[in-house]
């Protein structure tokens, strides 16, 4: 039996689906209980030091299990595996195999080798488009909402970020393959697809005849059966006028965009190598709101980047005030090995950074609540995903990607229904289905 644990972002979630399918192919069914497993695989994240430490914490637990069950095979994949490679085998002698972010297709052989007692490490990058076709597309199971990978990797090299180092260069998948996968999903009853990539709006091989990202959106929107289209994550520098137009005139495109600013201060943005200014970011936000007045924005913010002083931090707060994000993910800067910013002098103490994070989060909480309250009385198009976690109501998402609960029959899963919002709480909307 396989115990597979996934850390980090949607790319890893998507890779884990492939890993589970590959392991089924060699006879490992999945179990949620590591005590029942004879194969443990961790798909890891290295975005911040804490994320990496969690992996080592988990490995410590499995080391004890291996002492009791010497036949247990332990493998580490994902971004920490890519970053550490051979070092991981040395640091953790009980680990049998280490597979990088481009090496999932080797996993069946690596597990076979481990069964025969051989330890292995595979972390070579595979920088060509063929790697999208190494796996069967996982569309047979259906469901309400699915992610479809359209590009992988990142060429932006933001000064703080490890992703380009552990995921490699940007590669786009051919539009024909993307359309084929979405058509298969629609045929299996999927209602919503989210086009996925580290930097999705720089999609495009730039080969003659291949579409760019706005053109890809229009192609996918034509597929019958798909009611709603989303994409994530976007880089502000690649928000083109053509992409903004899509929000005005593709009815299936949900009115939501995740558009991380990272900071509201020009000097910090420059140090981060983000490739846009505060004014350019705000201009794009204004153009998005003009094209689609209902649009909801979410974002990511980093506090305590080297060189951020109180005044720079105030600029971040004022940008948040101007944008009015529906929700915001925020992090304390964490120096990552091999990145440019890891060598920057950093004068602000951790307590000060923590204080900034708390102030930022308190400010966002107020904005989120006010925005949720402002939706009371409005009618939203809600895609019903199924039962809520408590099991006593339905859970769905508005076009703006806000979670909503309401009473109704579970057989409504997969439908897009008109829902009147009756209450706007901090983390959820409450609504009533108007008609089915």
Minimum distance from residue 307 beta carbon to ligand F3S (Å):
23
**Is 381 a residue that touches ligand F3S (CB under 6 A)?**
no
The DSSP output letter for 262 is B
8 binds, among ligand F3S, ligand SF4, ligand SAH, none (CB under 5 to 8 A by kind): ligand F3S
Task: Report the alpha-carbon distance of residue 251 to residue 95 in Å, rounded.
Answer: 50
336 binds, among ligand F3S, ligand SF4, ligand SAH, none (CB under 5 to 8 A by kind): ligand SAH
Minimum distance from residue 247 beta carbon to ligand SF4 (Å):
21
Q: Pick from 18, 48, 102, 235: which binds ligand SF4 (CB under 6 A)?
A: 235
**Is 320 a residue that touches ligand F3S (CB under 6 A)?**
no
Alpha-helical (H) ranges within 196-309 are 213-221, 241-249, 266-272, 278-291
User: Residues with Cβ < 8 Å from 172, sequence gap 6 or more?
Assistant: 129, 150, 151, 197, 203, 204, 205, 210
Are the C-beta atoms of residues 184 and 220 closer than 8 Å to each other? Answer: no
Residues numbered 58 to 87 that lie near ligand F3S (CB under 6 A) are: 78-79
Task: Report the alpha-carbon distance of residue 21 to residue 153 in Å, rounded.
Answer: 22
Are the C-beta atoms of residues 126 and 97 closer than 8 Å to each other? Answer: no
Q: Please give the C-alpha separations between residue 171 and each of 158, 242, 281, in angstroms, as whole numbers.
A: 18, 21, 25
Are the C-beta atoms of residues 90 and 98 closer than 8 Å to each other? Answer: no
157 binds, among ligand SAH, ligand F3S, ligand SF4, none (CB under 5 to 8 A by kind): ligand SF4
**Is 152 a residue that touches ligand SF4 (CB under 6 A)?**
no
**Is 363 a residue that touches ligand F3S (CB under 6 A)?**
no
**Which helix (H) or strand (E) is 229 found in, with range?**
strand 228-232
Minimum distance from residue 134 beta carbon to ligand F3S (Å):
18
Q: Pick from 2, 37, 163, 288: which binds ligand F3S (CB under 6 A)?
A: 163
Are the C-beta atoms of residues 230 and 242 closer than 8 Å to each other? Answer: no
Choose between 79 and 261: whose C-beta lies nearer to ligand F3S. 79
Residue 142 φ then ψ, to 5°: 75, -140
Q: Pick from 19, 47, 190, 429: which binds ligand F3S (CB under 6 A)?
A: 47
**Is 167 a residue that touches ligand F3S (CB under 6 A)?**
yes
Which range binds ligand F3S by CB under 6 A, 127-135, 137-145, 159-167, 307-315? 159-167
**Is 11 a residue that touches ligand F3S (CB under 6 A)?**
yes
Residue 61 φ then ψ, to 5°: -60, -45
What number of chain residues touch ligand F3S (CB under 6 A)? 13
Task: Report the alpha-carbon distance of residue 332 to residue 340 in Å, rounded.
Answer: 17
**Is 157 a residue that touches ligand SF4 (CB under 6 A)?**
yes
Q: Return residues touching ligand F3S (CB under 6 A).
A: 8-9, 11-12, 45-47, 78-79, 162-163, 166-167
Give the interface with ligand SF4 as residue ranges (CB under 6 A): 154, 156-158, 161, 163-164, 198-199, 235
């Amino acid at each position: 039996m396989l115990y597979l644990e996934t850390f980090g972002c949607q790319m890893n979630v998507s890779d884990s689906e492939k890993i589970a399918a590959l392991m089924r192919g060699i006879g490992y069914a999945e179990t949620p209980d590591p005590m029942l497993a004879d194969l443990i695989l961790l798909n890891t994240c290295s975005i911040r030091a804490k994320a990496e430490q969690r992996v080592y914490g988990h490995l410590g637990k499995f080391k004890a299990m291996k002492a009791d069950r010497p036949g247990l095979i332990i493998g580490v994949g994902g971004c920490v595996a890519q970053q550490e490679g051979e070092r991981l085998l040395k640091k953790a002698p009980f680990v049998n195999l280490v597979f990088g972010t481009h090496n999932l297709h080797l996993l069946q052989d690596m597990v076979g080798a481990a069964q025969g007692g051989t330890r292995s490490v595979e972390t070579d990058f595979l920088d060509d488009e063929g790697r999208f076709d190494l796996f069967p597309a996982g569309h047979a199971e259906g469901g309400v909402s699915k992610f479809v990978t359209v590009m992988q990797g990142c060429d932006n090299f933001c000064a703080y970020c490890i992703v380009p180092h552990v995921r490699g260069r940007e590669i786009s998948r051919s539009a024909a393959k993307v359309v084929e996968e979405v058509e298969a999903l629609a045929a299996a009853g999927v209602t919503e697809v989210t086009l996925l990539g580290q930097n999705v709006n720089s999609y495009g091989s730039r080969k003659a005849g291949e579409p760019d990202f706005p053109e890809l959106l229009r192609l996918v929107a034509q597929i019958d059966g798909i009611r709603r289209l989303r994409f994530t994550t976007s880089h502000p520098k690649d928000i083109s006028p053509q992409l903004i137009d899509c929000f005005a005139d593709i009815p299936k495109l949900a009115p939501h965009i995740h558009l991380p600013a990272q900071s509201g201060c020009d000097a910090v943005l420059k140090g981060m190598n983000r490739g846009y200014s505060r004014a350019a970011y705000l201009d794009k936000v204004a153009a998005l709101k003009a094209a689609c007045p209902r649009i909801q924005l979410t974002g990511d913010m980093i506090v305590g980047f080297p060189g951020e002083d109180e005044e720079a931090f105030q600029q971040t707060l004022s940008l948040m005030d101007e944008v009015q994000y529906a929700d915001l993910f925020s992090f304390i800067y964490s120096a990552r090995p091999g990145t440019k910013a890891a060598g920057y002098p950093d004068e602000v103490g951790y307590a000060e950074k923590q204080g900034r994070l708390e102030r930022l989060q308190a400010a966002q909480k107020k904005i989120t609540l006010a925005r949720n309250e402002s939706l009371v009385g409005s009618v939203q198009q809600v895609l019903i995903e199924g039962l809520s976690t408590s099991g006593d109501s339905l859970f769905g998402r508005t076009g703006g990607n806000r979670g909503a609960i309401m009473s109704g029959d579970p057989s409504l899963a997969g439908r897009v229904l008109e829902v009147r919002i009756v209450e706007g709480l901090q983390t959820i909307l409450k609504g009533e289905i108007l008609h089915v």
